[in-house]
Chains A and B, each alone.
Chain A
Amino acid sequence: MEDNPADVILVREALEEYGIEGELIVANDGEKAIAIIQDIDCETVSCPDLFIVDLNIPKKPGREVVECMRQSVKCKDALIAILSSSDSARDKEDARRLGVRQYIRKPSRLDEFLRLGAVFKAMLGHSGN
Chain B
Amino acid sequence: MLARFPEALLISDDDWGIVGANRRAEHLWQKTEEQMLGRRPWEQWPGWVRTEIEEGHRRALAQEEPVELQGWSAKGVEGPLELRAFRWEAGIVTYYRPIPTEKSRAAYGFGDAMALSEAQAHLAAIVQSSDDAIVSKDLNGIIRSWNRGAERIFGYTAAEVIGQHISMLAPAEVADDIPRILQRIAQGQRIEHYQTKRKTKDGRILTVSLTISPVRDASGRIVGASKVARDITSRELQEQALREANAALLRSNADLQQFAYSASHDLKEPLRMVATYVEMLQRKFGGKLGESGDEFIRYTIEGAARMERLLADLVAYTQASTIDEEQTEEIDAEEILERALGNIETAIKDSGASVTHAALPRVRMHEFQLQQVFQNLIANSIRYRSGEPPRIHISAERQGKEWLFSVQDNGIGIDPQYKEQIFGIFKRLHSAAQYPGTGMGLAICERLTQRAGGRIWVESELGRGATFFFTVPVRGS
Contacts and interface: CB of A to CB of B under 8 A. Distances in A.
Q: Do A and B come from one complex?
A: yes
A10 B269 contact: no
Contacts of B275: 108-110
A113 interface: yes
A113 B280 CA distance: 11
B276 A110 contact: yes
A106 B272 contact: yes
B468 to A, nearest CB: 32
A109 B276 contact: yes
* Of listed A6, A108, A110, residue having the most chain B CB within 10 A: A108
Interface in A104-126: 106-111, 113
Contacts of B277: 6
B279 A110 contact: yes
A57 to B, nearest CB: 14
A109 B274 CA distance: 10
Q: Interface residues of B: mostly helix, strand, loop or mixed? A: helix
A85 interface: yes
A72 to B, nearest CB: 31
Nearest to B268: A108
A110 B280 contact: yes
Contacts of B276: 6, 10, 107-110, 113
B271 interface: yes
Nearest to A111: B279
B277 to A, nearest CB: 7
B288 interface: no
Given A6-B277, A10-B276, A110 B283 contact: yes
B168 interface: no
Interface in B261-296: 268-269, 271-273, 275-277, 279-280, 283
Given A85-B272, A108-B272, 17 more contacts: A6-B277, A10-B276, A10-B280, A13-B280, A107-B276, A108-B268, A108-B271, A108-B275, A108-B276, A109-B276, A110-B275, A110-B276, A110-B279, A110-B280, A110-B283, A111-B279, A113-B276
In the A-B complex, list the 8 residue pairs whose CB atoms are closest, starting with the nearest: A110-B279, A108-B272, A110-B276, A108-B275, A85-B269, A6-B273, A113-B276, A108-B308
